[in-house]
C-alpha cells in the first residue's frame, strides 16, 4: 500500500482540495482501491466525502492513536493507495502521518506567506528523511508572482511540473462532493489534475520499484457508499 500525504503549515494552501481531487483521479486511472483519511480537525475532506454520491474513493475513519493498526488493516483489505489530509500546523499528527508517507505533497499558493510557511513543513519532512514535492496551487497564468514563486520553490526542493491554476470550478466541485473531472466544461482544470496525478504516480512508483504491487492486482469486496474500509456510516 502506498501512502500519499498532503501537508502544509499554512491554512488555505488548497491541500484538502488537491487531496480529494488526486484521490478521485487515482481511482479513475486504475490505481485503486483508494481510501482517503482526514486528520485535520476541521474535517473538510470528511465533509466533502459525505456530500459525494460516487462510491469511490473510500473513506477510512481513524485516529492518530489507531493509525498504525488501521493502516495494517487497510493494507490487508487490499487498499492500494491511501491519501491523507493533515492539519494546517506542525503537530504530532503531522509527524505521525509523515512518518508513514511514501511521498509528501506540499501545496503552496504564489504568495510570500505561503512560501515562508513552506519552510517549516520542509524541515519537518526532511527531518524524517521522507521525499517531498511542491505543488504550485491557485496560480494566476502569466503573472509575475507565479513565476517568482516557481523559482523560489524550485530552489528548496522538487517542484511538480504540473501547475494548478486558480479557477472557480475547483471550489464549485468541492461543494457537493465532486471534482473538476466530474464537471462539464472543466477541461483545463481536469487536465491539470490529470498531469499532476501522472507525475505523483511516477514518483510513488519509483520509490516502490522493488516492492510495488501493480495497480488493480488486489481487490476488495464491492461496497456501498456507507461501507468504508474502516467504518460504516458518515465520515466524522
- Supply the pLDDT for residue 159: 96
- Supply the pLDDT for residue 214: 42
Q: Which residues are registered as beta bridge partners of 85? A: 6, 38
Task: Please state the domain extents for the chain.
Answer: 2-207
3-state helix, strand, coil in the chain (%, to 5): 40, 15, 45
3-state secondary structure at position 33: coil
CATH for the 2-207 domain, from 3.20.20.140, 3.40.50.300, 3.40.50.720, 3.40.50.1820: 3.40.50.300
Residues 6+ apart with CB under 8 A from 228: 35, 58, 59, 60, 61, 235
Encode pLDDT of 113-165 as tens digits. Answer: 888 888 889 999 999 999 999 999 999 988 899 999 999 998 889 999 999 99
Q: Which residues are registered as beta bridge partners of 36? A: 59, 83
Q: What's the average pLDDT block by block, 10 residues per block, for the chain (236 residues)?
A: 94 94 98 97 96 96 92 96 93 92 96 86 94 95 89 91 95 95 93 98 81 38 43 51
Cα–Cα–Cα angle for 13, 21, 170, rounded to 5 degrees:
65
pTM of the predicted model over 0.85: yes
Encode pLDDT of 175-191 as tens digits. Answer: 999 999 999 888 999 99
- Supply the pLDDT for residue 117: 82
- Supply the pLDDT for residue 229: 44
Amino acid at each position: 500500500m502506498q501512502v500519499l500525504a498532503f501537508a502544509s503549515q499554512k491554512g488555505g494552501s488548497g491541500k484538502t482540495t488537491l487531496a480529494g481531487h488526486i484521490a478521485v483521479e487515482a481511482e479513475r486511472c486504475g490505481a485503486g482501491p483508494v481510501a482517503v483519511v482526514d486528520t485535520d480537525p476541521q474535517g473538510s475532506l470528511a465533509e466533502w466525502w459525505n456530500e459525494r454520491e460516487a462510491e469511490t474513493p473510500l473513506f477510512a475513519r481513524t485516529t492518530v492513536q489507531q493509525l498504525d493498526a488501521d493502516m495494517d488493516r487497510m493494507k490487508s483489505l487490499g487498499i492500494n493507495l491511501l491519501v491523507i489530509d493533515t492539519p494546517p500546523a506542525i503537530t504530532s499528527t503531522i509527524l505521525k502521518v509523515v512518518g508513514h508517507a511514501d511521498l509528501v505533497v506540499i501545496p503552496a499558493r504564489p504568495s510570500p506567506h505561503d512560501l515562508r510557511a513552506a519552510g517549516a513543513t520542509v524541515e519537518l519532512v526532511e527531518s524524517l528523511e521522507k521525499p517531498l514535492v511542491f505543488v504550485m496551487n491557485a496560480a494566476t497564468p502569466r503573472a509575475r508572482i507565479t513565476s517568482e514563486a516557481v523559482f523560489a520553490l524550485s530552489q528548496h526542493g522538487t517542484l511538480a511540473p504540473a501547475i494548478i491554476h486558480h479557477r472557480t470550478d475547483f471550489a464549485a466541485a468541492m461543494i457537493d462532493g465532486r471534482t473538476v473531472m466530474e464537471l462539464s466544461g472543466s477541461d483545463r482544470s481536469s487536465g491539470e489534475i490529470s498531469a499532476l496525478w501522472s507525475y505523483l504516480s511516477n514518483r510513488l512508483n519509483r520509490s516502490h520499484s522493488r516492492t510495488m504491487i501493480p495497480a488493480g492486482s488486489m481487490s476488495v469486496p464491492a461496497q456501498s457508499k456507507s461501507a468504508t474500509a474502516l467504518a460504516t456510516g458518515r465520515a466524522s
